[in-house]
Amino acid sequence: MLGGKISMDVIILNGASSSGKSSIAKELQSILPRNYLHIGIDTFISMMPEKSNSLDCGDGKSDGFYFQQELLEGKVVQRIQSGSYGRKVNLAYHSTVKHLADLGLGVIVDDVMDGSSEQKLWNLALGSTSTLFVGVHCCLDVLVERERLRSDRVQGSAVEQALRVHQGVVYDLELST
């Protein structure tokens, strides 16, 4: 239970960009009796050298993270990809969350998982750490509008993510924003 005597060491919020994960994380920080750090892959991307990423649409591959245009269900979308450096950073992200939890710090993770394959990576990294997996869902029309209104979003990425992030993931709790 989150509000009772038992609390999770790690709460993983998984959903597409613009689905409301950060807002949920901030609200949980304010209402839960235990203190939780809020961390996401964007924290790690902001620490990377700019030259390692190509996060503007169509700039091509990079060693870090980059977007690749794809056709999905008749729509042009942007799918995030990672080079070898990006994969190392993602592993560091997972192990950092584990380390924080091992130090006794509660952690709320704001993530865009690559379906069940990434949930397996999280489970491997976290081991026996008490973890709550939360699916954050949002209808496509709302995602597209939220993405359009935010200047820090790559247009077309939220739809692609919404169709991928929940595939095969087993949740303890699911929310619709």
pLDDT in tens, 31-84: 999 999 999 988 988 888 888 877 675 557 878 776 777 776 777 667 777 788
| 49 within a domain of the structure (yes/no) | yes
pLDDT tens digits, residue range 3-13?
454 579 999 99
Q: Is residue 89 part of a domain?
A: yes
Is residue 17 in some structural domain? yes
Residue 103 has a pLDDT of 98
DSSP string, 93-116: HHHHHHHHHHTT-EEEEEE---HH
The count of structural domains within the chain is 1
Which DSSP helix (H) or strand (E) runs through 44?
helix 41-47
Q: Please, which pLDDT band fits residue 88 given cuts at 50, 70 and 90?
A: very high
Helix (H/G/I), strand (E/B), else coil: 152: coil
Q: Is residue 58 domain-resident?
A: yes
Q: CA-to-CA distance for 16 and 20, rounded, in angstroms?
A: 9
In a domain, 5, yes or no: no
Asked whether residue 3 is domain-assigned, the answer is: no
Q: Which residues pair with 137 in a beta bridge?
A: 176
> Taking a C-beta distance cutoff of 8 angstroms, is the pair 170, 119 a contact?
yes
Distance CA 163, CA 37 (A): 28
pLDDT score, position 176:
93
Which CATH number characterizes residue 26's domain? 3.40.50.300
Q: Name the helix (H) or strand (E) containing 176.
A: strand 173-176
Residue in 9, 42, 63, 114 annotated catalytic? 42
Please report whether residue 117 resides in a domain: yes
Residue 120 lies inside a defined structural domain of this protein: yes
Characterise 18 by phi-psi region: left (phi > 0), alpha (psi -120 to 50), beta (else): left
pTM of the model: 0.84
Query: Is position 102 annotated as part of the catalytic site?
Result: no
Average pLDDT over residues 19-29: 94
Residue 31 pLDDT: 96
Residue 70, number of CB atoms within 10 A of its CB: 13
| 136: containing domain | 10-176
Distance CA 104, CA 144 (A): 38
Q: Is 42 helix (H, G, I), strand (E, B) or coil?
A: helix
Instruction: Say what the pLDDT of residue 155 is.
Output: 66
